[in-house]
Amino acid sequence: MAATTSTAASSLLATKKNLSSLSLTSANKLPAFSPLLTSSRRQRFIVLSASLNSKPTVLVAEKLGEAGINLLKDFANVDCSYNLSPDELCTKISLCDAIIVRSGTKVSREVFESSGGRLKVVGRAGVGIDNVDLAAATEHGCLVVNAPTANTVAAAEHGIALMAAMARNVAQADASVKAGKWQRSKYVGVSLVGKTLAVMGFGKVGSEVARRAKGLGMHVIAHDPYAPADRARAIGVELVSFDEAIATADFISLHMPLTPATAKILNDETFAKMKKGVRIVNVARGGVIDEDALVRALDAGIVAQAALDVFTVEPPPQDSKLVQHESVTVTPHLGASTMEAQEGVAIEIAEAVVGALKGELASTSVNAPMVPAEVLTELKPYVELAEKLGRLAVQLVSGGSGVKDVKVTYASARAPDDLDTRVLRAMITKGLIEPISSVFVNLVNADFSAKQRGLRISEERILGDGSPESPLHFIQVQIANVESKFASAISENGEIKVEGRVKDGIPHLTKVGSFEVDVSLEGSIILCRQVDQPGMIGKVGSVLGAENVNVSFMSVGRIAPRKQAVMAIGVDEQPRKETLKKIGDIPAVEEFVFLKL
Ligand X SMILES: NC(=O)C1=CN([C@@H]2O[C@H](COP(=O)(O)OP(=O)(O)OC[C@H]3O[C@@H](n4cnc5c(N)ncnc54)[C@H](O)[C@@H]3O)[C@@H](O)[C@H]2O)C=CC1
Catalytic residues: 285, 314, 333
Sorted by sequence, the CB contacts under 8 Å of residue 589 that are 6+ apart come out as 528, 529, 530, 540, 583
Contact code string over 292-331 relative to ligand X, x by CB under 6 A = -----------------xx---------------------
Tell the smallest beta-carbon distance from residue 300 to ligand HPV (Å). 30
Q: Compute φ and ψ for 248, nearest 5 degrees.
A: -100, -15
Out of 68, 126, 201, 287, the residue judged to bind ligand HPV by CB under 6 A: 126
Alpha helix ranges (H) inside 396-530: 422-433, 446-452
Give the one entry of ligand X, ligand HPV, none that residue 153 binds, where binding means its C-beta sits below a cut-off of 5 to 8 angstroms depending on kind. none
In three-state secondary structure terms, 39 is coil
Q: Compute φ and ψ for 38, nearest 5 degrees.
A: -60, -60
Spatial contact of 443 and 430, defined as CB atoms under 8 Å apart: no
Amino acid at 128: G
Spatial contact of 5 and 40, defined as CB atoms under 8 Å apart: no
Q: How far apart are CA 529 and CA 510, in angstroms?
A: 15
Q: How far apart are CA 363 and CA 354, in angstroms?
A: 13
Amino acid at 38: T
Q: Which residue is nearest to ligand HPV (CB)?
A: 126
Give the one entry of ligand X, ligand HPV, none that residue 437 binds, where binding means its C-beta sits below a cut-off of 5 to 8 angstroms depending on kind. ligand X
Sorted by sequence, the CB contacts under 8 Å of residue 469 that are 6+ apart come out as none
Per rule CB under 6 A, is residue 159 in the interface with ligand HPV?
no
Please give the distance of CA 61 from its chain centroid, rounded to a whole number. 25
- The residue among 102 and 414 lying less far from ligand HPV, judged by its C-beta, is 102
Spatial contact of 44 and 84, defined as CB atoms under 8 Å apart: no
Spatial contact of 252 and 244, defined as CB atoms under 8 Å apart: no
Per rule CB under 6 A, is residue 424 in the interface with ligand X?
no
Would you put residue 152 in left (φ > 0), alpha (ψ -120 to 50) or beta?
A: alpha
From 47-55, 97-105, 179-187, 200-208, span contacting ligand HPV (CB under 6 A): 97-105
Out of 8, 336, 354, 362, the residue judged to bind ligand HPV by CB under 6 A: 336
Q: In terms of C-beta density within 10 A (0-12 exposed, 13-18 middle, 19 or more buried), how is residue 461 classed?
A: middle
Out of 15, 103, 282, 579, the residue judged to bind ligand HPV by CB under 6 A: 103
From 138-146, 278-286, 418-426, 548-556, span contacting ligand X (CB under 6 A): 278-286
- The residue among 287 and 557 lying less far from ligand X, judged by its C-beta, is 287
Angle 392-23-568 (CA atoms, 0-180°, nearest 5)? 25
Tell the smallest beta-carbon distance from residue 310 to ligand X (Å). 5
- The residue among 68 and 128 lying less far from ligand X, judged by its C-beta, is 128
In the region spanning residues 349 to 378, those forming contacts with ligand HPV, defined by CB under 6 A, are none
Q: In terms of C-beta density within 10 A (0-12 exposed, 13-18 middle, 19 or more buried), how is residue 337 classed?
A: middle
Contact code string over 210-249 relative to ligand X, x by CB under 6 A = -------------xx-xx----------------------
Per rule CB under 6 A, is residue 284 in the interface with ligand X?
yes
Per rule CB under 6 A, is residue 437 in the interface with ligand X?
yes
Amino acid at 112: F
Per rule CB under 6 A, is residue 575 in the interface with ligand HPV?
no
Give the one entry of ligand HPV, ligand X, none that residue 204 binds, where binding means its C-beta sits below a cut-off of 5 to 8 angstroms depending on kind. ligand X
- The residue among 59 and 227 lying less far from ligand X, judged by its C-beta, is 227
**For residue 480, what are the CA distances in angstroms to 233, 460, 472, 483?**
19, 15, 23, 9
Angle 421-426-427 (CA atoms, 0-180°, nearest 5)? 100
> Quick one: which of 143, 153, 106, 100 has its CA closest to 125?
100
- The residue among 226 and 410 lying less far from ligand X, judged by its C-beta, is 226
In the region spanning residues 141 to 160, those forming contacts with ligand X, defined by CB under 6 A, are 151-152, 155
Q: How far apart are CA 491 and CA 496, in angstroms?
A: 6
Tell the smallest beta-carbon distance from residue 224 to ligand X (Å). 4
In three-state secondary structure terms, 125 is coil
Neighbouring CB atoms inside 10 A of 130's CB total 15
Tell the smallest beta-carbon distance from residue 333 to ligand HPV (Å). 6
Q: Compute φ and ψ for 178, nearest 5 degrees.
A: -65, -20
Per rule CB under 6 A, is residue 151 in the interface with ligand HPV?
yes
Out of 102, 430, 511, 529, the residue judged to bind ligand HPV by CB under 6 A: 102
Per rule CB under 6 A, is residue 134 in the interface with ligand HPV?
no
Contact code string over 167-206 relative to ligand X, x by CB under 6 A = ---------------------------------xxxxxxx
Give the one entry of ligand X, ligand HPV, none that residue 520 binds, where binding means its C-beta sits below a cut-off of 5 to 8 angstroms depending on kind. none
Q: In terms of C-beta density within 10 A (0-12 exposed, 13-18 middle, 19 or more buried), how is residue 301 classed?
A: exposed
Pairing of strands 496-503, 474-480: antiparallel
Out of 35, 68, 128, 316, the residue judged to bind ligand X by CB under 6 A: 128
Per rule CB under 6 A, is residue 437 in the interface with ligand HPV?
no
Out of 21, 176, 337, 514, the residue judged to bind ligand HPV by CB under 6 A: 337
From 46-54, 68-76, 101-109, 288-296, span contacting ligand HPV (CB under 6 A): 101-109
Per rule CB under 6 A, is residue 138 in the interface with ligand HPV?
no
Out of 22, 99, 127, 385, the residue judged to bind ligand HPV by CB under 6 A: 127
The footprint of ligand X (CB under 6 A) covers: 127-128, 151-152, 155, 200-206, 223-224, 226-227, 255-258, 261-262, 283-285, 309-310, 333, 335-336, 436-439
The footprint of ligand HPV (CB under 6 A) covers: 102-104, 125-128, 151, 333, 335-337
